[in-house]
Amino acid sequence: MNDKAKTASEQPEKHEALVLLKDLVVIIIFFLIFTTFGWSSFHIPSGSMEPTLEVGDRIFVSKLSYGYNRYSVPLDPDFVPEGRLFDDMPERGDVVVFTLPYKGSNDFIKRVIGLPGDTVQVTRGRLFINGEIVPRTYIRDVNYTDYQGADRRAKEYMEELPNGVKHRIYERHDAGPDIIDNTKLFVVPEGHYFMMGDNRDGSADSRYLHDMGFVAHKYLVGRAQITTFSLYDCDQGKDIFCPIGIPLGRFFNVID
């Protein structure tokens, strides 16, 4: 009798374990489908996109925007082709996540400034696209402590790209190193883009031609669309809504 009772009591436990295992498998499959074909979550580790994105922001990136290839899939598997399914091009001004196999397959986030065939140049801190200066409007001076603890002073501008996209930038000064504020004339090759960070004096981007350089279309992961929440350090001193030290001003913001 005891053996029979013991066997009967084990059956519900086995059934519950199988149900739990099936639920976990379904969750994993759904997660893989969601992150491969829908949206992925990324965090912002550096200040190169200030003030649009702050260190500690968590963002959702749409993989639907530019189609799918091997770089849309976690771990960039070799058996997935580089050709894109449902291919589409970014627009000037899009904030884009991309991966660079020649830089350790790390993910980066920058703004699309130059499209294939464009010329891009920075002269005395001012951006020129196809020979025309990109207008900017002064907003304010900003004094803050960056994520590495350094005191920063910058001017905040609203910049308007040739297609009408407006976005904010930081400029510490217009007389920095030539590689930042007095560049050569770049001609964007076919199938590539010229990327820049909105923190113009604090971004290693396509201006560093022998480091990041032009970014190939095949390396695009997706378009950054929204901040979900943030671990931004409210002690940096920026004008961000931070009740009781929680950066609610960084939650659920559309990324322009």
Tell whether the model's pLDDT for residue 36 goes beyond 80: no
Question: pLDDT band for position 142 (50/70/90)?
Answer: very high
Annotated active-site residue 46? The verdict is no
pLDDT digits (tens, 9 = 90+) for 212-237: 999 999 999 999 999 999 999 999 98
| Nearest residue to 171 via CA among 139, 194, 214, 219 | 139
pLDDT confidence tier of residue 38, bands split at 50, 70 and 90? low
End-to-end CA distance of the chain: 71
Q: Given 48, 65, 203, 230, which residue is catalytic?
A: 48
- Residue pLDDT, tens place only, 184-210: 999 999 999 999 999 999 999 999 999
Q: Is 249 left (phi over 0), alpha (psi -120 to 50) or beta?
A: alpha
Residue 102 or 163, more confident: 163
Q: Which of 40, 63, 72, 110 is catalytic?
A: 110
> Does position 133 have pLDDT exceeding 80, yes or no?
yes
What sign does the CA torsion over 43, 254, 82, 213 have?
A: negative
For the question of residue 72 being annotated catalytic, the response is: no
38-135+177-250 CATH fold = Umud Fragment, subunit A (2.10.109)
Residue 25: per-residue pLDDT: 62
